[in-house]
Every structure is written in C-alpha cells, then in structure tokens.
Amino acid sequence: MKLTDVTSENISKIKKDKKNPDKFYISTSGNSYESDYSAEYKNGKWKLEMFGGIVI
C-alpha cells in the first residue's frame, strides 16, 4: 500500500532538525493549500505544531 492510496494530499519527506535530533519537519499540500508542521518527541509523547502555510 502506498501513502497516496490513503490520502489525496501530498506529504513531503520528513526532514530532521540539525540542532535538535528529536524534532522533525513535514509539509502537506493539496489543490489550493500548503501547510508546514513540526513534530517533536518529548517526554514520551509526540507534539505536533502547525507553523506555516498558504491557502489560495
């Protein structure tokens, strides 16, 4: 199964933060939007944060 079989949006490759090895960056996009997220593993839990994006 491919990720595109589950969702109609595009998801970027996961990028690591060079200064913090527990933090990662992901972007999603669709027909008229793009959203940027960070994910950080802290105290045994994942913290997701939306920090940017564009809606047309």
- Report the pLDDT value the prediction gives residue 32, as an integer from 0 to 100: 87
- Report the pLDDT value the prediction gives residue 2, as an integer from 0 to 100: 54
Residue 3 phi/psi, 5° resolution?
-60, -35
- Report the pLDDT value the prediction gives residue 3, as an integer from 0 to 100: 53
Residue 44 phi/psi, 5° resolution?
80, 10
Question: pLDDT tens digits for 11-25?
Answer: 899 999 999 999 999
- Report the pLDDT value the prediction gives residue 9, as an integer from 0 to 100: 80
2, 23, 25, 21: which is closest to 12 by C-alpha? Answer: 25
Q: Determine contact, residues 47/40, Cβ cutoff 8 Å.
A: yes
- The answer to whether the predicted template modeling score (pTM) of the entire model surpasses 0.75 is no
- Report the pLDDT value the prediction gives residue 42, as an integer from 0 to 100: 87
Query: Does residue 45 have a pLDDT over 70?
Result: yes
